[in-house]
Structure 1
Amino acid sequence: MSPDSAATLHTTESVPAHRRRVYWRDVLSQTFGAVDISVPEEVYAGTVRTSPLGRIRRVTVEGDPMQTLRTRRLIAGSADDNHVVVMLVSRGNARVEQDTRDAYVGSGTLFVYDRARPLRLTFPEPFRTKSLVLPRHLLGLGESELRRITASPLRPEPGLGSLVTSFLSRLVDTAATYPQQTGESIARSVVDLVQTVAEERLGRAAADTPTAARMSLLRIRAYIDQHLTDPDLTPEAIARAHHISVRYLHKLFEAEDVTVGQWIQQRRLERCRRDLARRHAAGLTIAAVANRWGFSSASHFSRVFRIAYGVSPAEWRRTAALQNA
């Protein structure tokens, strides 16, 4: 099953005005766990886009000002409360209250909350959030450790902070363009990155955690994404840019069950697949798109594209054109 086929869109657009509050409460409850909400009755709009990535669910929410409240009564009536939410405020501001903390979260800031405990989340202005909903055990934190980081803006050092927000934002926005296995792999990387930020907040020593290797891998992946158009992007060039040995580079990717070369090819194929489906690239030949993303041989590109997606680049482009017509 492709990510697209499992995606769900909920919007208040076609809902009668007098039904919107109830509809919106039900949609948010299905997505984040049962909540009560307070919204302006007369003018309200909201959209939720969600899809699974293995055990993780990606969610984008856009809406007008509102407040959500998750009480002990609602938690007690929930069938599944064993999840946490990693939320990025990408537009607007939020106020989050949980575990005796009351924090204001600005645009571009990340925070975590636990669905198993009471929560009040307020958006005083139109907003957009990008979130991952995941089983709490994936963060690798004990109960007391989780309580120490909930409802608290995660503001790590600048380099790490940029990786957190860019990886999560890009994953939520573009996961539907990836093969399912790739999307799940990137989602795990984002969770690893959030865990690293949490470990920093908790004051864990780097020597006691796999932080260094995890951060190296995430930085290398970001570097690969930035240099996909370079046909000379090789393991040797990547290792040299990061002042590590080629052997150590391959070791970092071993845990991901993929080689460095396979990862580069996979990412290039995803960019080509995306461009071939876009109207603005209709004037480019397939060979030009392939060359743009680092494939020097059109025949090789066509062969690996078919292996990855089950259709030729030309067939994919025709199908996408029909869907966009």
Structure 2
Amino acid sequence: MRETVYSNDHLPAAERYEWFCDLTRQTFLPTHVTSEDAHDFRVSLRHIDMGTAQVDVLDYPSLHSRRTPKLVRAEDLDVYWLCLNTAGRQGASSDRREVALTSGDLVLLDIGRPFDTWARPTGSTAGTISVALPRESVALPRRTLDRLATTRLDCGTGTGALLASFLHRLVADTRSYGPHDGVRLGAVLTDLAVATLAHHGDAEGAVPAETRRRVLLAAVHAFIDRHLGTRQLTPEAIAAAHHISVRHLHRLFRERGTTVGEWIRRRRLERCRQDLLTPACAELTVQAIGARWGFRHASEFSRAFSGAYGMPPGEYRRRAGHKGRGPGAA
């Protein structure tokens, strides 16, 4: 996954604002930018290239950004931005429509139209995770997207919550992803974005069947991750939570070359492996870590871990330098 990090901490305070204006103008999207904090404009920006989708993580002080009709005519881009407000009070206006956003809200901006956005920190900075999506990747009618643009989109439930959770987990630490993960995860992100917009626009029927299947599978994966430590994590419980048959659930996984049980075991083992490498878990015994993620018996955990990683969990921990304490640490 390709990530580029931009920061102006290395510059004198008097030069930081102009640096940001030049960066947005030349590298991202030409806009007119003003700020009450121009005298010392500290900002950090991470750009993550995910193939079709592009993700930007921005932390900044007060900001007012305006994309004028002249700028739109100079570079007519058929692109949508989905912006998740992660900190501060923010807002946007376009086509005589205005929306105010608090932390956790989502808004759709049509880059092919003039707009204004603003942000005010409620703490040290404001924050945004933005997803840039080309029009051709959003398989929804233009009239639906026009109706949704510059309106508040709820991320508290359903696909909106799944999208917000996915974005937060995605940007938390990109170092854990391989070089080819970007395009695959970008496709998942696009599917979740389309499904969220379709839900808010009452246009679920316009979403392609394959996209709906991928979104359902992403929801199932997220549910499994949230309940890995629960011993009652069974195909029946998973299917019931998503209002599908057990047969349908098994088919979803079979189409991807695995089974529900194999996926759960793999995710549990990965969580155990992470805990064995984490200094904060050094006080936990190997058996406690296994039980934490759903392995009922120490022998079951040891066999499964050895089969996946080539050595028992205690040896894996020792080689990593975190020996743990107390009975059963090995």
TM over 0.5: yes
Which of 7, 18, 35 is matched with 2:14 structurally? 18
Structure 1 stretch displaced more, 60-69 or 122-131: 122-131
Matched residue SS, 2:152: coil
Asked if the contact 2:55/2:132 (under 8 Å) is kept, the reply is yes
Distance 2:319 2:152 in 1: 42
Which of 22, 27, 30 is matched with 2:23 structurally? 27
Distance 2:264 2:220 in 1: 11
Does residue 267 of the first structure (1) align with residue 267 of the second (2)?
A: yes
Does residue 119 of the first structure (1) align with residue 115 of the second (2)?
A: yes
Asked if the contact 1:171/1:183 (under 8 Å) is kept, the reply is no
Asked if the contact 1:227/1:233 (under 8 Å) is kept, the reply is yes
- Partner residue in 1 for 2:325: none
Larger radius of gyration, structure 1 or 2?
2
Does residue 46 of the first structure (1) align with residue 46 of the second (2)?
A: no
The one-letter code of the counterpart of 1:130 is: I
- Partner residue in 1 for 2:88: 92
Q: Percent identity?
A: 31
Distance 1:263 1:184 in 2: 21
Asked if the contact 1:253/1:259 (under 8 Å) is kept, the reply is yes
Asked if the contact 2:17/2:39 (under 8 Å) is kept, the reply is no
The alignment's C-alpha RMSD in Å is 3.7
Distance 1:303 1:133, change over 3 A: farther
With the length of structure 1 as denominator, give the TM-score of the two structures.
Answer: 0.77
Segments of 5+ residues of structure 1 without an aligned counterpart are: 307-311, 319-325
1:259-298 mapped onto 2 (5 Å cutoff): 259-268=259-268, 270-272=270-272, 274-284=274-284, 289=289, 292-294=292-294, 296-298=300-302
With the length of structure 2 as denominator, give the TM-score of the two structures.
Answer: 0.76
Matched residue SS, 2:46: strand
Segments of 5+ residues of structure 2 without an aligned counterpart are: 322-330
Does residue 224 of the first structure (1) align with residue 224 of the second (2)?
A: yes
The one-letter code of the counterpart of 1:64 is: P
- Partner residue in 2 for 1:141: 140
- Partner residue in 1 for 2:235: 235
Asked if the contact 1:290/1:301 (under 8 Å) is kept, the reply is no
Distance 1:7 1:186, change over 3 A: closer
Matched residue SS, 2:39: coil
Task: Report the Cα offset of residue 225 of structure 1.
Answer: 1.2
Q: Which runs of 4+ in 1 moved over 6 A?
A: none
Asked if the contact 1:58/1:131 (under 8 Å) is kept, the reply is yes
- Partner residue in 2 for 1:152: 151
Distance 1:36 1:235 in 2: 53
Distance 1:16 1:120 in 2: 29
Distance 1:160 1:205, change over 3 A: closer
Structure 1 stretch displaced more, 13-22 or 235-244: 235-244
Matched residue SS, 1:96: strand
